[in-house]
Structure 1
Amino acid sequence: MVKAVVGEETQLKLAEDRLSQSRLPAQVGLVIGKLSSSLDRGFVFDLVPTPPNDAGEAACSLVENVRDDKKKASKGKSQADSSSLVIDNDWVAEHARQVSRMLLGGMKVVGIYIWVNDSSFKNSTIVLCQTVKGVAEAAPLSETDWDERLLIHICYSPRRWTCRNCIVTSNITSSSLRPCDFKMGRVLNSLQTFRCMYNFDLRFPICLESSSNVRTLANILRYGISMHAKELKGARAMIDGNLVVEDEPSTSDGLHEVELLLPFMKDTFAEACSQKEIVGVIIFSGSVCSFAYLNSKEPISQALADIKGDIITSLQSRLDIICDETFEDMGPTVDGGSDASDEIATGKSVPQLALHLLREQCSLSFPRRVFVPWLMGTFICDYLQASETLEVLKDHIVELMSMEAPTDATTILEPEIEAPTVATKSFWDVANLCPAASSSDNPPLKKGDIDATRKESERKSIKSVDFSIVTAAFFLILSILVGMALLVFRAS
């Protein structure tokens, strides 16, 4: 349970000045920070306003509540006192989903903020709780997601900051809001930076449709990444060349290099299918550069958990980006037939291919991860396709993060020289059981081909057994005849 929240004073004061100068009656946005379970505290790094939607409309606005004139006159309330918030929850949630892709380990979308007067805030608690819930669903904190988010209210009449802890449940109500202590201080200066270059080479089986519900490339990859996340949790780590053996706080400043030591484990995903049911293999390989930021009071184990989580989140985000672009450009569904070759060549619709029907090998490059300077030595990230330039990156961060684009391109880090790639191959080619399978003239075996091969082998085996029996019978009869001939000869 988060009992106290500390906000970065420099950034929050800048946000307050920006809001007061805008003279907007209301504004909603995202709270970027970290919730620490070990410290029972929350940390706020920055506030990011939600941009206007595609129609140019603001994400939130004030509307006048319709009330009976007699009640209105008896209470003597002003127009401002009777107004309430209208928020585009779906748009705010989409903003949270895209911003969460840009945050590194130890940085999350931990809630929302609202800039509005006190009376309108009190009239809109249920609306705000629903917005918080939408953000929590769009940008989960972890696999075992926290049920807590922050709701920061910046009131301009009178001017003050308040913070509430919102317990996210299926039936969220205004009673889900609980006050918590809030103060401003130095947060970003105390963060320690951890970096890891993680090399991976994963292989996921392509099973027959009858033996598995995982059919498309996207589904197989998504399931495989989740399985690898479980293996990655058990990885030991070396920090700055020293094996981490105790859960102790990190006291040294500067950049810490992390190396993950993955244990030897059985491939549980491959064991789910027998050899006869596997018709192909997906090879997913490459390198992921990961960063994590740790508060000086948190243990080293938290930094390692953030690094591991960031690696998996990065792989999932790249897959989501490819799938999003696929749905935008998608024409007829590819079924692996003769029309699939054009789709494979262009890369479109590849994530939706039914791989157990595909007769051709295909490959797909994932976006590269690049890092942009953010606040006080920290970074955020974005993903670039092979055809995209840094200009696309600059436009993206200006729109989503409401920040100025970097003027010096040398400050943008591009440690991933080559993007991670996905390639599909027939099982027999990978296992090297059929050398001819590597030729483009020999497509991967399908279920019918396997069955036909097995039947032919059985037929040949039966013929071989029949021939052996006939041969043995012939020599037996010949031996009997020869023996009888010898007896007759001796008797005569």
Structure 2
Amino acid sequence: MVKAVVGEETQLNVVEDRLSQSSIPAQVGLVIGKLSSTLDKGFVYDLLPTPPNDAGELACSLIDTKDDNKKKGSKPKSQQPPDFSSLIIDNDWVAEHARQVTRMLVGGVHVIGIYIWVSHSAFKNSTMLLSQTVKGVAEAAPISGVDLDERLLIHISYSPRRWTCRNCVLSSNITSTSVRPCDFKKGRVLSSLQMYRSTYNFDIRLPLSRDNATNALTLGEVLRRGIAVAGRELNSSKATIDGKLVVNNDQCTADGMHEVEFLIPFMNSSVEASRQKDVIGTLVFRGSVISFAIVNSKELASLAVADIKDDIIRSLQSRLDIICDDAEENLESTLDAGNEASGDISSGKPLSHRPLHELRKSCNISLPRRIFVPWLPGTYICVYLQPSETIEVLKDHFVELISMEAPSDASKILEPELEAPSLNIASFWDTLGPSSSVPNNSTSSTKKKTETSSRRKEISQTTVGFNITSFTAAVFILLLSALVGYLLTKR
């Protein structure tokens, strides 16, 4: 359990100044950082306000439960809130914000809770609502590989001005959620972080069996199976950091970027086994994933490797989610210019949502490409670009999701993935020929043709042999007759 939380004072002071100058009565947002079960600590890197929804409505607002307290002088509500005020929070929108931001975070960085800027009285009146918001965020942005069932709830009070932090222990029953206070202080957090980098090359081949067609599995569902295969491959691998094999109790104390490489077992194959007669198509999923992880210098090197592995799988899942989310409007841009897969969508369904047995032509799909942008000092944040998008879309991503202006200097943006991972789907209708659909008839027919050919060959050879023998005998008899005639004439 997290017993103490340390927040990066530089970033938190900027957030506090921004809130105090805005004169807004309430604001909700996400807490970005890491929960360390080994250190029993939580580290807060930054706070991101949840933007207004598509209708322009704020994610959080205050209401007054007393009619006679709706108007209390001319002072701003941030300085003189009503005593009986309570919060209204759009939980679904805050959860969606958490889901979108999670895609942009690298390894070792997570959405670890929410913060709320509101008066002390309004906070006390809204404890249950805030617990529900925390739970929704945890479900939308799960932290894989972490055995902690808690998230943080940070309250920034403006009356009186102070910071407090609580642990929200998650539970299936929201009425039993436990909210416990924990120690909170500001300090230097970012200066103790270390950066890890890895390149993971993968080539996954998935046979598409008759079971896929019978159950009407979609491309998205089959591709998730492929990502699961990659996850099993990574989990079974060993890793080296800067050329040295990682042992559980090792620590990386050196500064600078650390390179992580994975040692995949030699006999470990990423090709799923299947009976040949059941295979009616193939799906080839290949490419390279560039991964970064940010880890506290006091944590073990094995945790850095775990964060890198998690980032790789999360990156593949994020790309698939983006394709599924944007399939309707971006289908044409995701298909390669040279194929004719657009002819397969006459039903109106996007490619990622269509059953695979409906695909009538082979197609190639390029997944979004990952780029990295400097974020907090010494850290990066990532954005995924569709094949038809340019770096200009960064402006919208950064302003809307993390309240940050995109860097004006393009040279600071890292684009290590020169080619995005790709997906090739072999056509069902090209593979569903006589050799695969009716193997018994085809085999017997081929066998009959072979036997007939052999018989014809034998007959031909016999005929040739017979003709040669007859010719030789005739010549011999003719010569013998001539010799006998000659002898008789001499007598």
TM-score (norm 2): 0.83
CA separation of 1:466 and 1:186: change in aligned 2, threshold 3 A: same
**What is the percent sequence identity of the aligned residues?**
61
Q: What residue in structure 2 maps to residue 389 of structure 1?
A: 390
Shift of 1:448: 6.9
Counterpart AA for 2:15: A
Q: Are the aligned partners of 1:369 and 1:383 in contact in 2 as well (CA < 8 Å)?
A: yes
Residue aligned with 2:371, SS: strand
Residue aligned with 1:95, SS: helix
1:121-163 residue CA offsets vs partner (Å, 9 max, x unmatched)? 0000010001001100111111666421000000010011000
Shift of 1:264: 3.4
Shift of 1:452: 2.7
Q: What residue in structure 1 maps to residue 437 of structure 2?
A: 451
CA separation of 1:64 and 1:238: change in aligned 2, threshold 3 A: same
Counterpart AA for 2:61: S
Distance 1:83 1:23 in 2: 16
Cα RMSD (Å): 2.9
Q: What residue in structure 2 maps to residue 89 of structure 1?
A: 91
1:402-452 residue CA offsets vs partner (Å, 9 max, x unmatched)? 01221111100000001111012269xxxxxxxxxxxxxxx5222776233
Q: What residue in structure 1 maps to residue 327 of structure 2?
A: 326
CA separation of 1:350 and 1:143: change in aligned 2, threshold 3 A: farther
Q: What residue in structure 1 maps to residue 223 of structure 2?
A: 221
Q: Are the aligned partners of 1:31 and 1:48 in contact in 2 as well (CA < 8 Å)?
A: yes
Residue aligned with 1:382, SS: strand
Q: What residue in structure 2 maps to residue 196 of structure 1?
A: 198
Q: What residue in structure 1 maps to residue 110 of structure 2?
A: 108
Counterpart AA for 2:423: V
Alignment of 1:48-447 (within 5 A): 48-65=48-65, 80-142=82-144, 146-173=148-175, 175-209=177-211, 213=215, 215-267=217-269, 270-271=272-273, 273-327=274-328, 341-342=342-343, 349-425=350-426, 444-446=430-432
CA separation of 1:145 and 1:449: change in aligned 2, threshold 3 A: farther
Counterpart AA for 2:430: P
Shift of 1:279: 1.2
Q: Does 1:32 align with 2:32?
A: yes
Distance 1:8 1:467 in 2: 83
Residue aligned with 2:222, SS: helix
Distance 1:143 1:276 in 2: 39
TM-score (norm 1): 0.83
Distance 2:212 2:93 in 1: 40
Distance 2:190 2:97 in 1: 23
Residue aligned with 1:444, SS: helix
1:20-63 residue CA offsets vs partner (Å, 9 max, x unmatched)? 00111100000000001111110000000000111111100011
1:240-292 residue CA offsets vs partner (Å, 9 max, x unmatched)? 12222342121111111111111235558723x32211112111111111000
Number of paired residues? 437
Distance 2:320 2:118 in 1: 38
Q: Are the aligned partners of 1:165 and 1:178 in contact in 2 as well (CA < 8 Å)?
A: yes
Distance 1:396 1:60 in 2: 21
Structure 1, gaps ≥5 residues long: 70-77, 332-338, 428-442, 469-492
Q: Are the aligned partners of 1:280 and 1:356 in contact in 2 as well (CA < 8 Å)?
A: no
Q: Are the aligned partners of 2:344 and 2:361 in contact in 1 as well (CA < 8 Å)?
A: no
Counterpart AA for 1:11: Q
Which structure has the larger Rg? Answer: 2
Q: Are the aligned partners of 1:195 and 1:291 in contact in 2 as well (CA < 8 Å)?
A: yes
Alignment of 1:6-17 (within 5 A): 6-17=6-17
Distance 1:211 1:361 in 2: 16
Q: Are the aligned partners of 2:99 and 2:141 in contact in 1 as well (CA < 8 Å)?
A: yes
**Farther off after superposition, 352-361 or 246-255:** 352-361
Q: Does 1:5 align with 2:31?
A: no
1:284-319 residue CA offsets vs partner (Å, 9 max, x unmatched)? 111111000110110000100000000000000001
Residue aligned with 1:377, SS: coil
Residue aligned with 1:173, SS: helix
Q: Are the aligned partners of 1:129 and 1:174 in contact in 2 as well (CA < 8 Å)?
A: no
CA separation of 1:214 and 1:259: change in aligned 2, threshold 3 A: farther
Q: Are the aligned partners of 2:101 and 2:401 in contact in 1 as well (CA < 8 Å)?
A: yes
Counterpart AA for 2:371: V
Structure 2, gaps ≥5 residues long: 70-79, 333-339, 455-491
1:372-429 residue CA offsets vs partner (Å, 9 max, x unmatched)? 11011210000011111111012211110001221111100000001111012269xx
